[in-house]
Each structure stands twice: as C-alpha cells, then as structure tokens.
Structure 1
Amino acid sequence: MSSIYKLLSLLVGICFSLSASAGIIKGKVSDSKTHEPLVGAVVEAENGNAKYKTVVNLDGSFIFKNLPEGNYGIKIKSMGYKVSEEFKVTVKDLKDIQTLGNIELKNDVTELVAVNISGGNKQSDSYVRSIEKNADMVQNILSEKTIQLLPDVTVANALQRISGVTIQRDNSGEGRYAIIRGMAQRYNSTLVNGVKIPSPDDKYRFVPMDLFPSDMLERLEVIKALTPNMEGDAIGGTMNLVMKSAPDKFLLNANVAGGYSTLFSDRPFSSFDHAGMKNASPAELKGNNYQATAADFSLNHFHYSDKSAPVNTTVGLTIGDRFLNKKLGVIISASYQNFFRGSNSTMITPSANTDIHPVPTTLMITDVLDRRYSTQTNRIALHNKIDYAFNDRNKISLYNFYVHQNEYQTRYTNDTTFGTNSSAVQKSVDIEYRSRWQIQDIYNATLHGEHQLSNKVTFDWSGVYSIAKSNVPDMSIYNFNGNVLFDGNGKATKTDSSTYGTSVGHTWQHNSDQDLAGYANIMYKPRIFHQEVELQGGGLYRYKTRDNYYNDYTLKPSYGTSQAFHTIDTLSLAFNPTQNGTGNVTALVPNNYTAHEHITAGYVQARFMLLPALQVLGGVRIENTQQDYTTVMGFDFSQKNGTIHYTDVLPSVHFKYLLSSKENLRLSYFKSISRPGFGDLIPAPIRGEQFTEQGNPDLKHVRADNIDVRYELFPGGAGQLLLGGFYKQLQNPIEYFVINQGGPSALVIEAQNTNKATNFGFEAVYTKYIGKFGISANYTYTHSEVTTPKFTKYYDKALAQTQTGSTTQTRPLQGQANHVGNVSLLYKNPKIGLDIQIAFSYTGDRITQVSAWNNLDIWQKPYTQLDFSLEKSLSKHFYFFTKINNLTNSANKLYIKVDPGVLDNFITQGLPNQVAGSNIITMQKEVVYLSFLGGIKYKF
C-alpha cells in the first residue's frame, strides 16, 4: 500500500514542485521528541561575510538555491528550541547539491522532574496524526491549526471537511447537524472533552453543532468505532470537541473581524423589535383557564425595519499560563459572533394527497411559495479550565463551558395558489410574515481527577453537571389575503385593493434537558506471560430530567373578510369562539410533559499484544436504560404517563496490526445503540406546515452491528493515507410512517420501527505536503437500504372509483449521500508568513424528506461549495486573515423524481424553475450568495 502513497506523492510533486537550480543545500528539520516538522524554523547559511536565510516548509524541508562556491556554516533556530550545532558544508561548484538529511532540534523548555505536563505542539497536524496512528480505534481528527485556517467559523461547518461527514444546513445555508457515514443526526452523539452533553432541541437528542465557535477548539475528533470504555449510543459516530487546555507558558491570542453577506446587496435585511415579546404565555402567567383577549398580545414585533448590508462581526480572546512551578494551569477562552444571514427561495408545496393522472400516484401541488429569510445570529461562548498537579501521581481539573445563542428570524412568504396561466385568471394570494426569536443555552461543568495508586494501578473519575435549554417566546405569524389578476401570459396586472386579514398566531415553546452524571475508571497493568496487559473497568451513572412546554393561540379578524386589511395595527382581532382564548393547551397538552432517564453502565476491557505486531483490545459494555414520562393530561387519558426499561449488552473487539513503524492495518467490530428522542416517544401531536407529527410511546430503540477495516500510512509530519471500509446492520431502525389520513390536505405521521436497514461504504483520505504546497483530500462512498410501507393511488376499473392502496418501497436512509468528497489546496510560505487555502466540498444527492406516497420522496440535488481562506503575518505578533464562503454562489435545490411526461403537465400550468422533458420536478431553489469575513489576529 505504501507504493500507492508514493505514486500519489509523485503526482502531487509533479503538480507543485519547482525544478531544482544549481548550487543547492537542502535538508529537513523536525522536533527531536515528536519528530514533527518544525514549520517556520529559520535556517541560516554563512560564508564569510555573506549570509543567507530561508525557512522550513510544511513538510519540514528547507532549500538554498543558486549558492556560490565556498564553505558554509549552517545553523537552525526556532522559538522554544535550542539552536542547532553548526553544520559545515562545502559547495564545490554551481552544479553541486549538498543534502544534510534530517536535523532534529531539542526543546529548550525546562521540564519538571516530578510533574510532566507538556507534550509536543498540540496545535499541529503532526500531533493529531500521531494520535490517529496510536489510537485504539478508527477515528479522524482536525488539529487546532487546521481549524484556524479553515474558511469556517463554527464546528458544524468544520465537520464537513472530515472524511465521511456531511452537514444538514439551515434555511440560511449554514451547517447545523452532522450526518456521519450516511447515518442521520439521530444516530450520532456529541461529547465535549469526552463527556456527553445534553441537547437544547425540543424533540431530539442530537446537538446543533452551529452553537460551537470553531476557534475555541484544540482539536475536533470524529470517532467511528467505539471501544467498551465509551458510551454505546452512537451508530454513525461520536463527535468529541476537545477544548483548549492550559499551555506550558504564557499564551495570549485575540482576534476581531468584520464582513457581510452579499445577499443583502440585492435586498435589505428585514428585522423586528423583540423587546415586546413576552417570555411566558397568558396561560403561564394567569393559569390555563384564563380567557385571553387580543389585548394580551403585543403587535410590536410585527413592525419590520430594513437594514442595508448589515455588518457581521466576530471577536475572540484566549489567555492562559501555568503558575506555582508549573503545577497550576489556567486557560480562559471567549468568543462573540454576530452574523446576518438569509436566503431567497422558491418552494413548491406538495399536497398531502395524490392524483391518478397522467399515471397512478402522481404528485399534486397546492402552492408555489416565494420565501425570504432574514436571520440574525448572536452567539456568546465561554470556556475555562483549571488543572492542578499535586505531584506526578495526582492531578485534578475543573472545566466549565457555556454557550448562549439568540436567533432573530424574519420570514416573509408570498403564497400563490397554483393554477393555470393559459388565460386571464384571478389568483388568490396569501402573504405571511413570521417573527421568531429562539434562545439556546448549554452549560457544562466537569470536575475530573487522575490518580496513580501504584506503579500498576491508575484511577480516574469525573463528576458532571450539564444543562441545555431552548426558549421560543411568542413566535408570531400574521396572514392577509389578496386577489391578483393575471393576464393571458401569466403576468400580474392588478391587485384588488379589498385585501383582508386572515389570522394572527402566537406560539410559546420552551424546554430544558438537565444531566447529573458520574464516571469512574480503574486500570491495572500486570505482566502476564512476560508481557504487559492493560486491564480496565469502570462505569457511569446519569440522571436526566427533561421538560417541555407548548401552547399556541390563533386570533381571527372580528369582521371576517369584510374588513379591509391595511396594516396589522388597524386589524380588529378576537377569539372566535371566545373559549379559544385559553389557547390549545387542552388539545395539545400531551406536549407539555416532564421526563426522566436513568442510564447505568459498566464495562470491562483488556488490551494486549497477541503477537509482536498485533494489538488486541476487546471487552463488553452493559448499559441499562430506564425512562419515564408524565404529561399533564387527565387520568382518563390512556397514555398520560409511561415507563420504558431495557438493557443492552454491547461487545466489541479491535485488532491493530503494525505493518511497520508507519503503517497500521485495523479491523474492528462493535455493537451500539441509538435511543429515541423524547419527541419521538411522547404521544403528542405537533403540527407542521405540511403534516402533523405524533409521538409513539411503543417505539423501540435501535441496535446495530458495526464492522470497520482500515489501512493507515503515516509517512511523517502531517502526511497520511487512509483506506477503509465499513458495514452496519441496524435492527429496529426508526423511520416515519403515516398512521392516519386527515383528509386530502392533511397527514398524521408517527415514528415507528421497521425491520432492519443496512449501510456500507468505502473511505479514502490523502494528505501530502511538498515544499510550500499541500493537498488534503478525502472521498466516501456510502450505500444504504431500508424498506418501508407507502401509500399508492390508482383507479379501480371494477369499482369505477379511485382507490388508495399500500405497498413497500426500498430506498436509502434519509440524509445518506452516495458520494461525498473534499479537496483542499494549500500554500504556506513561512518566510513571508502567508497561508492560503482553497477548499472544495461535494455532497451527492440524498433524501431530505420522506413522503407517505410511493416514490414521491423529496431529494436534494448534488451540492458543491467552494471556499477560500488566507492568513498573512503583518509583524511578529499581528496577522491579517480572511474567510470567503460560497465563491460560486451555489444554490440548494430539492427535487422529486417523476415518470417522463408528468413534468410537462405542470410546466403548462406555469410551474417555475423546471426544465422541459426532464424526469424531475424542482421543488425548491434556495440561494444564499457569497459571504466574507476579514480581520486581525494577535498571537503572543
């Protein structure tokens, strides 16, 4: 396999390397302990009074060209390292090439005799390559240096650069959730410093990854094969956010930047005043039986103002040091981000019903929407870690993390009922404005201790408190209606002045998810059969408390359609009938609940060398889950409360064969689970725009068997070649099924278990640096299959009427793309302090929404994005940087596959964004345009 790497390296060398010149001295420079390249080290060549200087490149190499004949003294200097001895080199003539080989520098930092805390340059790619190589399991890591140079400012967007990871984007084009190896977000878990954190999501367990600023990380790990000492609820993978820890010496980093989205060069950003939004609903303030009136609801947030090209800002600060003879380490990091983003989209709304013409189960369309989002995201994140080493056997640390995010979103929708444009017609047009403010918080505190009880026994423990919250206070919507006259060419000619208001809605929703957890692990290293064996055991206990509140109110115009609509302030509103003033708390009360979860887990594992080159790690984990929930429904409600208990035995074994000092061959098997979200379990109907979703208390958790195989080559420095495959078989995968048809325009769906699903694929990762140039690339192929029931619509000739039937459909898992890839081209010139990166990402087509009808699932077209980043030193401590996203203005497009000829029927009716003769109907086209950020960094 190493020959493959050499071939790839040769190809890269042909692309990037420059031809050699005469009179050359060259060599390499690395750290004497970690053997990683000392990028940026200064190399001096002195010949009498003539002095020459160069710097070490990305791959650790340096070169002097066009040197005159003579004797040279070579010295290498790098901050924090001892100056090398002087090397004597003679250049005989202009065609002479002298090679010094690899020169290793020794660290100049005085190390503690009793307490050894330092360990290599943790920010570098070389450091994380060593972690990947020496790890017990399959994983991929982004280093702090790589994260800093990426065009991304959140962890969600940075995740898409990792092999096998795609992201689900929000309505402003920003990444929010990670899909790992085609497994949707429900099948993945999130850790901060190895500790699982709760989610602020109102229904699910997965954590919105856009909450985390990327500049606070020391590294970003995606673990794809679980060992027994890891929590077992991850089938796709586990994301571990390793936050910055205290440095060996004083550290001060700061950054400030500004920029904007070019979307708002074409249209203004629409904002509203959130000051009048009440945190609690009338029912919360005055009781569920209170009869609310229109006077209880503010209209201030229906007053919109426009901003032209609002400025995005980011500010970051990290400060840290060690005290008390290096025993006490302290680091504090803070980040502030304020972004204005949005999108313009044309959306086609499918009906909950279908037609039989021109073919059975034909798509029906109800509306064409023109929608504009304006979203301001204000994010504050803080983290602090204090560690103290009593001696070389006892250490303790306290970690705190807090993130607070406000999202203010204005949504404008022009909803035109779909119809013919072949002649002059009058269309009914609905206009909707929505004001939404969401507040999300996550706080985690972890007290951790490490103790060397004897030469063979170590013990560590953690006490954890975490809480996640989400609050949507008074999300408000108002609608008004107008009649627009269209001519025979489909152009609007006149809007009837007698428009009228249709409804005003107010919704309150808030939830919290609190964890109290304890972890303990003990390790014993005896010698068995003349070799050291590592035996480990331990467990955890977690107590989770989750609550949810939901209530909404709908007001109608007092005079119906007879009152002309001019502004929201002149519209007379009331509840009709009056008793609706209590809101929907009686109809939707199951969605007001409190739930608890107890997780008790224990494990044993052993690691040993079965052969001189074969390491084996194996063991078993047992996890017991106990859940209960209580709604505020009356005792006559059969599912007022419920309890769920189950126990899982999760074996795993991991083989790592050392082909050489730089090559590994891995084979892993592990069993894992995925617990349903609380919104999946609670029997509460949650109304959506196109369907009502209902919880299922009989839902089973998902179990999976996972196999991984991977070849690894780490030739040195940041280089790597990884080739691997994976296979997953899921038992009881969770999919959504239609359980009731509420008429032709409404569907009720419920999370249910299907029999099984399979998912397998192949991954390749390649990184190579030659001189000042580098390439980093990865590709993942994934294939999955799941079979679920679907409805069909057909005409029964015998009965002479339209019938609804049932069938099954085999399809990929939702969110899984067959082809995923990333390519980054890098240029680094340490001599002038310049870093440049062009990053390209590709995600193939995938299902974004599963339909109740056979073969009418909504797919996302292949999505590509080209980004750019640059960092340039201005002086010893100051740097300029810029990040530019979506250089090609890529649009997000959704489609439905149809039989040939079906589309042409819709085109004649004026359906937008379609291509005649195609076998797909474009359901949505969403554009966000280019955005950029530029600023200054200070590094001490």
Structure 2
Amino acid sequence: MKMKTNRMAFMAALLASTTLVPAAAFAQDAESPSDVEVITVRYQYIPEARRVTSEVSASLSIDDLLTTGDSDLAGALVRITGLSTTQGRFVVVRGLNERYSNTLLNGSPMPSPEPFRRAAPLDIFPTNILSSVLVQKTFSPRFPGEFGGGVIGIETSALPEEGFFTAGVDGSFNTITTGNHGLTYHGSDTDWMGYDDGLRDIPAELASVFETTRVGNNLPADQQQAIGRSLVNSELWVIQNVDTDANGAVSFNAGDRYDFQNFSLGVIAAFQYSNAWETREGQRGKGRIGAGDELVYENGPPLADRSGIALPGRGINNFLGTENTIDVSGMVSVGVDFYTNHSINFLTMALRSTSKEARIEEEFNAGANGVFRTDSTEWFERQVLFNQLTGEHLFESLGGLSVEWRVSDATATRDAPYQRNAEYAHTGAGYVYEGTVNGNSTSFSEVEDNTSDYGIDLELPVELGSMDVSLTAGYANTSRERDAWTRRFSFAPGSVGIPSELLSSRIDYIFANQNITDERLRLIETGGLSLPEAYHGQLDVDAYYVGADLELTDFVRAAFGARFEDGELSVDTFAFPASAADSGLVETQQQEDYVLPALTLTWTFADNLQLRTGYSQTIARPQFRELAFAEFFNTETDQRFQGNPYLENTEITNYDARLEYYFGREQFVTVGAFYKELTNPIEEFIIPIGDGLNTSFINAPSATLTGAEFEYEKTFDFSDSWDQPFFNDREWFVKTNYTYIQSEVSGEGSVTVAQGAFGNPQALVLSAAGFIEDGRALQGQSEHLFNVQVGFETFDGRARGALLYNYVSDRTRAVANLSDSLPEIVEQVPSSLDFVYSRTINVAEADWDVGFSVRNILGDGYSATQNAGGTELAVDTYDLGTTFSVSVSRTW
C-alpha cells in the first residue's frame, strides 16, 4: 500500500507542472504589437456544445475516449470534473452517490440489474458502442426530477457517414493476478462464454414445490431426500487452485449507409466479448467501541491481546478470492433520414456481465473460541436488454417547430443461482467440516427490473420584439417495476448425523447422495424466518414541463421553466410461499406531486468569457430495496441489508455558478461553485442483529453540501521552438480539474427506524443524535477530487499518448451508529496513475491501430478502516497490482 502523503505529494507536483508552461504562453501572447487592427469575433473559441446550452455541463467525445483508452463508461467518467465512482461501477457526482443521479440512453432511463441499487452500473457499457456522453450538473425541466448530482446522457451513433468494418483484439495481464495462485471451481462447460449451460437451473424436484411449500420436515421424507439429492454437488462445491489466466477481449464494429433520392438508410452493429480475472488477497474485520471506549474487533479481544493467536489474528479475517468476469455486449442501430429534416432510429442493445467467483476466508470467532474457514462459490449473471424507437423532426412550415419523441422498453435481470458456502473448524491438525446447519448454505436469488418510457419534446423559436426566444414543452411517462427474491437452504444433521471420520473429507464426498438421508443430512429452508426475502416494487411517474430560453440582450441569456411530476410508488414484501412472515399488506405506498422550477442565467460580459448561474429544486426518491422490509445479503461487502418502509423523499435546493474563459480552440479555464440544501437525505446506518451487523436506512433531518470546481485545458505547439521530430510533428495538451466538496449532515431532530419481525414493521421515532454525528459528511462524499492528463497527438492523427492521474480522497463507506458503539467505516480510494499510447502503423499496405497501456503504475491498493480513540482497525484491505495491456485493431 502507498502512503496517502505520497499520493498528495505526487498530485501537487503534477498540478504544479501544469501551471508553469501556460504562464510562459500567456506572457508570449501579451507581446503582440499594438498598432495592428483588431477585428473582434464574438464566441470565437466557445465550443458549440457549451455555447448552445445554458446549463453547467461537461462532455466526453470519441476523441476523449481514444485519448484515455478507458474500456468502459465508468472508467471514462472519472476524468470529468466532480465525478468519481464507487466499486468502479456507480457514479458519484459532486459528492452525491448514485441515488442522486440519472442515467439516460438517448433520452430514455436505463434499468438496473443490481439488487441493491436502482442506478445502472456503468461498467457494463463498453465505450466502443458510444458516440458521446453528456454530464449535466444543473437541472433543466426537460430531465427527470430525480436530480441531485446530475444526469448522465449517453448517446449512440445513428447513421454512419460511410461504410466501415472494424475488428480488434486486446490482451492484458496484472501483476497481482495473472500467472499467480488463484481459485476457481468447475462450473458448467459454457462458463467461459458467460452463460450457464443449464447446470445451475433450479432442479425439477425443487421447482415443483418452489412457490407452494417451504422445504423442511413438513415434507415426506422421500421427497425431502429427493430434493436434497437433486442439488448439483461437486461441480459447484469444490474449490480448485489454479494459475490465473491473462485477460483477453475481441470486438467487431460495422456499419453502412445507403443513399436514395429522398432518404438515407444507415445500419450500425457492434459486438464485444471480454474475459478477465482478478484475484484479491487481503484482510477484513469489523470493529466496535468496547469497555473503556476502546476500539476492538467484533470477534476478538483488544489489540493488545492478539499475540499468540495463529491463523489468523483475533478479529481479523484473511481472505483470498478470484473473480472471473465475462462481458458480452451487442448493439444494432437502424436509422432513416428523410426529406432533409426528419429522422427515425431504432436501437436494440444487449449488455451482459457474468462473474464467477471462488473465495476462501479464515477468521477467529471469540464466541466459539476457535479459528474457522469459509469456502464460497458464486455465479452472477447481470443483463440489460434495451429497445428504443426515436424520432427527430423539423417543421419549417410551422415556424421551425422541432419535435423529438422516444419510446423505449428495457429489462434488467440479475440471476444468482447456487451461491454456496461451507464452514470448517480448525482442530490444530487441520480443518474439518463444522457439521451444523449453520455450517453450509445454498441460495438462489433473482432480480428483474422492467422500465418502459415514452415522451415527446417540443421546441419553437419565436421573436419577441428584438429578442430571440426558444419555447419548450414536453411530456414523459415512465413506469418501473422490480421483483426481487432470495431462497436459502442448508443441509442439517439428521437423526444420527455425519460420522466423525467423514468430517475431514472433501466437501462433495460429505454431500454425496448416499449421505443425504433422514439419518445423516436433511435439506431444510433457512431463509425468511424473521424477515421476508422477496418484494415487488412499482414506480409510475407522469411528468410534463414548459420552459423558455431567451436572449435578453446580446450578452445576457436566460433559461427558465418548471417540471410537474406526479409519482406513485409502492413496495410490497412477501414470502415464498405465503406464511406468517407475510402480513398480506402493502407496506409502502407513496403518492407525491411536485412542481420543480429551474432558472439559469448566462452573461457573456467579454469576448469568450461568460458567467453561468443557476437555481433549481429537485427530489430523490427512496430505492425499492431501501423501502422493502426484507432482508438481503450483499456478497460484495459480506453484509446484510434490511429496508425501512417509512423513508420519505429527499427534497433538494440547488445553487450553481461557473465562470468560463475560452482562450483558444479547445482551450479554456473554468471556475465554479455550488451549494445544495437537502431535506430528509437518505443515509445508511449499522444495527447489530444477533452476532452480526445489518445495514438499514434512515432519513437524516437535513444536510448541506458546498463545493468548488476548477478546470483547465490548453494545447501547445512546439514545432517552432524545438527542432526535434518528437516535438515538431505533434500538438501537446494539458487537461486538469479539481473539485473541493464539503458536506454536513444534521443530527438535530428525530429519525424513524423500522422494527418488528415476520413482515410486520413498526415505526420507532428516535433522536437523530443516536444515529448521526452532527456535522459529519454525507456517505460516499470525498473532500477532494483531482485529475490531470498530459499528452500529445500528432498533426496527422496517427499517434497519441497521455499520462493520466486520478485522485479521490477518503470517504465514508458505512456510517456510524453511535447508540450501538459502531464507528463509521472510511475507505481510502486508490489513486491511479496510467499511461496510454496508441499508433496507426502500415503493414502490408494496410493501416493497423496498435495500443499499449499501463494502469495503476503506482500500485495503489484498497483500504477501508475504522478509527476511534486513536486506534485504527482494518476493515477491508487488498492490493490491486499494475495492469499492462496491448490492443490491435483494423478498419476496412
């Protein structure tokens, strides 16, 4: 692990280097003769994308993606001012986590296959299917009202300019993972494709009673035995040691255009397959404040007493896990342009990400006074299917009326069959199977999220006296339904139990068919005993908006309007099958109407110098799983979640200002500030449940967020200054941005928590001071974000290279629960220094694009800790290594 001070020193050095050369350039510009006639061209250097909008925004183009070399959208977005990601998948905009942001694909909302988040994970979007990405940080009525941090607008290509076909391959290796010791299990024969061949399907014996009966002693002995024996054994139980493979990927992109007399037809298709491995080896632990206000591990004595405990230390879990991720994506877009001003486009897209993981974890358990090992095998299939029809029309005969419409239907699923773990106890001579009902588990879970959306946007330019005015209006209807469930089973000892000599055998020998009998092992259902493990959620939003964009003078522009939203949300938890754990009631029903105003002013008070200011009111709704009074297990953090049906919407007031100066083509400096007031922000908190810890949710009374942003981009042409080939045939650039964010959550007032069991929640109103440390930061908010890119591109565009650095300061991963002496968990996000180079070379009279990159050159790792009373405990630590990759592609 690298020290945080080293990262800060490196960041300061890079930032200093970006300011030295520009100073000389400015000084040189100031020496121009004074007797030259000056012709002023207003807006000469302001990019079109920023000139035509009144909002504070940032964008990524195809050139930006080529420069950074990022393979997925999540990795690319961290280069934008004020953006970071959690888990490398979910975007954080201006310190507000993914609940406060929206992702739109060609204007339509994206569903999420994740059971714990409504936001779509952006790592499943390969960059080869994108044409541009817009991040808008100020609210405008055209976008959904759930807007706190910003909206991410993803655009795909419609009609190509000409026919093309591109094929590419790339490979990479990681210094921690590739060729080193890792773990896996057999699985099915088609796992390498990211698809199960049917091995993991729910067996027919279990499927026949899945929705009508709980599996247990209530079933006839022969039926219970048949269900237990029907579960797959060795292929999904036995963990194997392997030398981990390198990573590889292939991609294909093709398109063509057909021009006719009054219309043009275009087709674009893209496909990508990747297979990657990651091994993580580190330590985990959970701490609480014990006697004498001393921070101690949950399953161990104080740190001073840890000596002499072998394999592992008391309270510390050693873990080793290897994850194999297979991504498959495909897209087909068919577009028609007709009669110059009209176009219709159909898009169908499939994004699939499958992960297969084997993990071994060792821990000391103080309650059992022993060392234990848990072996786990997992398989997750995440998939998004998206279909969309869009149209754009310009009616010159109607005064230049512009009409854009869209219809989309999308389904996101996450299937997790056969999540398994087996627990072993250390006897001094080695590990033996624990042999209890808690010593093993097999679970099946599924999430299905369906989102349909249709809408229309109208824009009409008019003249009011000497003013140019653009009037806008629109309507949108969005419906989202989500179903999620989990079923958990275990083999319990029968009337006699497992023979002691069998406990040290391989796990598939223990769970062999001859041992699944009424005397030795019986399959029973262990989930859903205290809380249901299934829910159905539905959100319907009807919205319409009106607005106007006015050029008040040659120098002042105003955009204002309001969005009207009528939202109905319901969440119902239930059990499989219906039981005492299901009250039969719909626990959460909310209907809220909102009028959400927005106003932005743009003042161009000098050539290429403008000031933007903005004011708006927006909301953030609770997510389904946060409202569902059900229990789910997050395998990524090894923590259980339970919802709170008494959560309310968060209401947000936003203030923005940004000063922009454009001093050359693609060269600018901006300075901005923002302030947000949040009423009822939703925060996580930790609660002790038995011997473990669960995470739930509350509405904090209020919070404020204040921040400042700085951007600087400049290009340099050294061809006249340096008589060297490396300098005189290319343009150099420096891009840097910095964001400072400070937030405070109020602990004054009350909070409502959900208590109760068997699906009957009860509201308990308590003092917020017991859950929230007054003045602490919002969960997931970093104080400092910093990016810098230094690189070049040759004048002929055949070579480019860049050194990229990204820094994110510490942030809260899990908030404290003061009433239960549980301190917050703070994560130290790894900094990343990357080098990317690509070049077009001619081989056999054909152009080939060759790329090379080195990621995480500094070798920074991940760390999460708890701190109290001067003591720091490791909660989650592991190394990430450095990744080297090479790519080759050709376009015909």
TM-score calculated relative to the size of structure 2: 0.81
Counterpart for residue 720 of structure 2: none
Which of 547, 557, 563 is 1:605 aligned to?
547
**2:886 is the counterpart of 1:937:** no
Contact 2:295 2:867 in 1 (8 A): no
**Which residue of the partner structure matches residue 878 of structure 1?**
848
- Deviation of the 1:192 alpha carbon: 1.2
**Which residue does 1:809 correspond to in 2?**
773
User: What is the CA deviation profile of residues 571-592 of structure 1, one whole-angstrom value per residue up to 9, with x for unaligned ones?
Assistant: 2566999998452465267332
2:712 is the counterpart of 1:776: no
Who is 1:332 aligned against? 269
Query: Contact conserved, 1:368 with 1:418, CA < 8 A, in 2?
Result: no
- Counterpart residue number, 2:600: 654
Aligned to 1:112: none
Residue of structure 1 in register with 2:419 after alignment: 475
String of CA shifts for 1:744-768, please: whole Å, max 9, x gaps. x334543121211111100111111
C-alpha distance 498-221 of structure 1, shift in aligned 2 (>3 A): closer
Q: Which residue identity lines up with residue 433 of structure 1 in the other structure?
A: D
Match of 2:103 among 177, 187, 190: 190
1:858 pairs with 2:825: yes
Q: Is 1:869 paired with 2:840?
A: no
Structure 1's 760 and 416: CA in aligned 2 closer, same or farther, altered over 3 A?
A: same
- What residue in structure 2 maps to residue 313 of structure 1? 248
Match status 1:530 vs 2:476 = no
Aligned pairs for 1:33-432 within 5 A? 129-169=47-87, 175-265=88-178, 267-275=180-188, 277-280=199-202, 283-287=206-210, 288-289=212-213, 290=215, 291=219, 292-293=224-225, 294-299=228-233, 300-325=235-260, 327-350=264-287, 354-357=289-292, 359=293, 364-366=298-300, 367-417=315-365, 428-432=370-374
The equivalent of 1:119 in structure 2 is none
For residues 573 and 327 of structure 2, the distance between their equivalents in structure 1, rounded to whole angstroms, comes to 33
- Distance, in Å, in 1 between the alignment partners of 2:422 and 2:45 is 55
**Does structure 2 retain, via aligned residues, the 8 Å contact 1:874–1:880?**
yes
* Distance change >3 Å, CA 843–CA 206, structure 1 → 2: same
Counterparts of 1:614 and 1:496 in 2: how far apart (Å)? Answer: 77
Cα deviation for residue 388 of structure 1 reads 1.1
Residues 577 and 748 of structure 1: is their aligned pair in 2 closer, same or farther, counting only changes over 3 Å?
Answer: farther
Quote the offset at 1:855 in angstroms.
7.3
1:230 Cα deviation from its structure 2 partner: 1.0
**The residue matched to 2:665 in structure 1 has which SS?**
coil
- SS in structure 2 of the partner of residue 231 of structure 1: coil
Change (3 A) 1:818 1:871: same
Larger mean Cα displacement after TM superposition, 510-519 or 148-157: 148-157
* Closer/same/farther in 2, CA of residues 894 and 15 from structure 1, 3 Å limit: farther
Equivalent residues of 1:479, 1:504 under 8 A apart: yes
Equivalent-residue separation in structure 2 for 1:554 and 1:508 (angstroms): 12
Match of 1:910 in 2: none
Q: CA deviation at 1:567?
A: 0.8
Match of 2:450 among 479, 498, 514: 514
Letter in 1 for 2:604: L
Larger Rg: 1
| 1:362 Cα deviation from its structure 2 partner | 6.2
Against the structure 1 CA distance between its residues 588 and 471, is the aligned structure 2 distance closer, same or farther, given a 3 Å change threshold? farther
Distance 1:692 1:827, change over 3 A: closer
Q: Structure 2 vs 1, CA of residues 364 and 631 (structure 1 numbering), >3 Å: closer, same or farther?
A: closer
Q: In structure 2, do the counterparts of structure 1 residues 253 and 660 end up closer, same or farther at CA, with 3 Å as the change threshold?
A: farther
8 Å Cα contact 1:654/1:668 also seen in 2: yes
Partner of 1:553: 489
| 1:831–1:754 distance in 2 versus 1, CA, 3 Å | closer
Q: What percentage of residue pairs aligned between the two structures are identical?
A: 21
Deviations 1:245-280 (A, max 9, x none): 322222333321112222135732322222274233
SS in 2 for 1:135: coil
Rate the CA distance shift 1:245–1:456 in 2: closer, same or farther, 3 A.
closer
**Unaligned segments of structure 1, at least 5 residues:** 1-6, 20-98, 103-125, 170-174, 420-425, 485-494, 792-804, 904-919
1:130-151 deviation per Cα after TM superposition (whole angstroms, max 9, x unaligned): 3134322111112111112214
Q: What is the CA-CA distance between 1:596 and the residue it aligns to?
A: 2.3
- The 2-side partners of 1:890 and 1:497 are apart by 34
3-state SS of 1:658 partner: strand
1:338/1:377 contact within 8 Å kept: yes
Deviations 1:310-351 (A, max 9, x none): 121122222223212462222112222211112111122325
2:641 counterpart of 1:641 = no
Q: Please say if residues 158 and 345 of structure 2, whose CA atoms lie closer than 8 Å, have aligned partners that are also in contact.
A: no
Q: Kindly indicate whether the alpha-carbon contact (under 8 Å) linking 1:590 and 1:682 is maintained by their aligned counterparts in 2.
A: no
Q: Deviations over 1:830-875 (max 9, x none)?
A: 4693311111111111111123235711112353111111102211
Measured in 2, the distance between the counterparts of 1:808 and 1:474 equals 38
Q: 1:129 to 1:255 in 2, by over 3 A?
A: farther
Gaps of 5+ in 2: 1-15, 29-35, 189-197, 301-314, 718-730, 752-768
| Greater mean alpha carbon deviation, residues 334-343 or residues 245-254 | 245-254
User: Could you report, residue by residue, the CA deviation over 1:464-492 in whole angstroms, capped at 9, with x for unpaired residues?
Assistant: 111111100111111111134xxxxxxxx
Shift of the 521–14 alpha-carbon distance from structure 1 to 2, 3 Å rule, reads closer
Cα gap change, 1:639 to 1:762, in 2 (>3 Å) = farther
Q: Which amino acid aligns with 1:775?
A: V
Equivalence for 2:612: 666
Contact 1:500 1:561 in 2 (8 A): no
Q: Structure 1-normalised TM-score?
A: 0.77
Cα distance between partner residues in 2 of 1:577 and 1:729: 63
* Deviation for aligned residue 1:12: 2.1
Change (3 A) 1:818 1:228: same
My pick for the range that moved more, 696-705 or 143-152, is 143-152
Alignment CA distance shift 1:585-1:575 (3 Å): farther
Partner residue of 1:562 out of 500, 505, 515: 500
8 Å Cα contact 1:340/1:375 also seen in 2: yes
Q: Quote how far apart the aligned CAs of 1:427 are.
A: 7.0
Matches within 5 A, 1:429-828: 429-453=371-395, 454-484=398-428, 495-496=429-430, 500-501=434-435, 503-556=439-492, 559=497, 562-563=500-501, 564-571=503-510, 581-584=523-526, 586-587=528-529, 590-633=532-575, 634=578, 637-638=582-583, 640-642=585-587, 643-687=589-633, 692-737=640-685, 741-743=688-690, 745-771=691-717, 772-788=731-747, 806=770, 808-810=772-774, 811-828=776-793
Conserved 8 A contact 2:148-2:619: yes
Aligned residues: 776
Shift of 1:284: 3.6
Offset of 1:882 from its aligned partner?
1.3
1:380-421 per-position Cα deviation (integer Å, ceiling 9, x unaligned): 1112222212212332111222111111111121223479xx
Which amino acid is the alignment partner of residue 851 of structure 2? F
Encode CA deviations 1:850-906: one digit per residue, 9 max, x unaligned: 232357111123531111111022116212101221111111112222223xx4xxx
Does 1:845 pair with 2:854? no
Q: CA separation of 1:16/1:522 partners in 2, compared to 1, >3 Å: closer, same or farther?
A: closer
Query: How has the CA–CA distance of structure 1 residues 893 and 277 changed in structure 2, closer, same or farther, with 3 Å as cutoff?
Result: same
SS at match of 1:533: strand
2:21 paired residue number: 12
Shift of 1:936: 0.8
1:598 to partner: Cα distance: 1.2
Q: Please give the root-mean-square deviation of Cα atoms over the aligned residues, in Å.
A: 3.3
Superposition map of 1:923-934 within 5 A: 923-934=875-886
